Amino acid sequence: MSVVFACLDADTLGGVQQVTHTLAQGLAARGHEVHVIGLHRAERPFRYVDRPRYHHHVVSPDPVGREGPLGRRRSERRLKRLLDGIPPGYAVMTSPSVVTALKDRLPAGFRPIGQYHGSFEHAAGCWHLGSIRKHYLDLDQAVFLSEDDAWSFSEGALLPNAWALPNPLANWPEEVSTLDAPRVLGVGRLEGVKRFDRLISAFAAAQPPPGWELHLIGDGAERERLRAHAEREEIADRVVFRGLVPVADMPREYLDASLVALTSEHEGLPVVLLESAAHGVPAVAFDVSGGVRSAGPVLVPPGDVPAFAAELAGLMGSRPRRRLLGAAARARAEAFRLDPVLDRWERLFAHIDR
């Protein structure tokens, strides 16, 4: 049977898209017929896999929110032709918006699976929880990122079909960081939800030792505002805005770092925590979800910038503690290697078929 992954758009730089392409490549390598469908064109496409073994489709030539009535009708016809041409199998819809748009359009024979890449806490604070409660109940399976979140959704959204499947690591590095470089790494879109302003403030409050820098990898609308914030915190000369870095170059970034920091308003299971852990780099993160907890960073109460600064200061000042936490992080990351996660997906498919 085939496996279809459907995203609102499949090629934007983001965690949902990265995980989708990683799973698609892994399942295709195991002999499954895999299709990745973007319901819309990405405004700024990002390439995740150089030689994909899966089929990749974009339904609408318009980005999300840009499609008019005529375009929607054309897209509906394209989507129907596309799905009718794929052998029946499992349809993995990667967000509440995709579930709402797609679940009633799936041809007979497809087994619908709804993913949610956020946390229960985030869903409960916005429209997501109501949509999940309404639309995920009649799917074959509702998939969440951690056991904590699956339990919370089963209780809070009354979902008896909740299942936990973590995000996978695309690769397992053989080399680990020496944790000697005086560098703290922040990775993600420079957008409000990532709250890099808090990270800049925490780095400043930590009074970093001489030579230590904060490197921010990513791009977005908040870049100039964050530059100005670093100026106000009087650490502009120690905050380096790196812009976008190709996926293939990210292992070098982790090897050149001694700490990773995550100050997001909300997260599901951030791939950056898994990748840094696999490279033996310890992380500090706000405790915003079961997924974040499952990755094993040093946890700080959400939004507590002084506590975050204290953890950064302690780790910047102690290489032995960085090494201890880095080794523990790498050991924990073993559970997120691609093959064990793919095994779990195949067990889910078998469970659905029973």
**What is the distance between the alpha carbons of residues 24 and 231, in angstroms, rounded to a whole number?**
43
For the whole model, what pTM was predicted?
0.88
Which top CATH class is 183-336? alpha beta
**What is the distance between the alpha carbons of residues 59 and 65, in angstroms, rounded to a whole number?**
14
Token pair, residue 57, equals 């489709």
- List b or e across 81-119, with b for residues whose CB sees 16 or more CB atoms inside 10 angstroms: eebeebeebbbbbbbbbbbebbbeebeeebbbbbbbbbb
Region 138-158: mean pLDDT is 95
- What residue has token string 């690591």? 169
Q: pLDDT: is 13 or 67 the higher one?
A: 67
- When pLDDT is cut at 50, 70 and 90, the band that residue 159 belongs to is very high
Q: Burial of 265 by CB count in 10 Å (0-12 exposed, 13-18 middle, 19+ buried)?
A: middle
Residue-wise pLDDT for 207-221, tens only, equals 999 999 999 999 999
Token pair, residue 190, equals 């420079």
List C-alpha distances in Å: 352 to 23, 141, 317: 18, 8, 50
pLDDT at position 247 over 90: no
Of 41, 37, 40, 42, which is closest to residue 14 (Cα–Cα)?
42
Q: Taking the CA of residue 26 as centre, how many other CA atoms within 13 Å lie in the half-sphere pointing to its CB?
A: 21
pLDDT at position 56 over 90: yes
**What is the distance between the alpha carbons of residues 286 and 7, in angstroms, rounded to a whole number?**
27
Widest pairwise Cα distance in the chain: 64
Q: pLDDT at position 44, please?
A: 87
Residue-wise pLDDT for 121-144, tens only, equals 999 999 999 999 999 999 999 999
pLDDT at position 14 over 90: no
Region 189-199: mean pLDDT is 94
CATH architecture, domain 2-167+337-353: 3-Layer(aba) Sandwich (3.40)
**Overall residue count recorded for the chain in this entry:** 354
Of 117, 163, 104, 95, which is closest to residue 350 (Cα–Cα)?
163
Q: pLDDT: is 46 or 110 the higher one?
A: 110
Residue-wise pLDDT for 62-79, tens only, equals 999 899 999 999 999 999
Residue 252 amino acid letter:
R
Is residue 6 a contact partner of residue 105, using CB atoms and an 8 Å limit? Answer: no
Region 197-226: mean pLDDT is 96
Q: What angle do CA 220, 225, 230 make, to 5 degrees?
A: 115
Residues linked to residue 162 through DSSP beta bridges, in sequence order = 142
Phi and psi (nearest 5°) for 284?
Answer: -120, 135
Residue-wise pLDDT for 343-353, tens only, equals 999 999 999 99
Residue-wise pLDDT for 165-181, tens only, equals 999 999 999 999 999 99
List C-alpha distances in Å: 213 to 150, 216, 263: 38, 10, 17
Of 293, 275, 253, which is closest to residue 336 (Cα–Cα)?
275
**What is the distance between the alpha carbons of residues 150 and 158, in angstroms, rounded to a whole number?**
11
**What is the distance between the alpha carbons of residues 146 and 164, in angstroms, rounded to a whole number?**
5
Is residue 255 a contact partner of residue 115, using CB atoms and an 8 Å limit? Answer: no
Domain boundary assignment for the chain: 2-167+337-353, 183-336
- When pLDDT is cut at 50, 70 and 90, the band that residue 15 belongs to is confident
- When pLDDT is cut at 50, 70 and 90, the band that residue 13 belongs to is confident
Q: How many helices (H) and strands (E) does the chain have?
A: 14, 13
**What is the distance between the alpha carbons of residues 177 and 57, in angstroms, rounded to a whole number?**
38
Domains 2-167+337-353 and 183-336 share a fold: yes
Residue-wise pLDDT for 279-320, tens only, equals 999 999 999 999 999 999 999 999 999 999 999 999 999 999
Region 38-62: mean pLDDT is 94
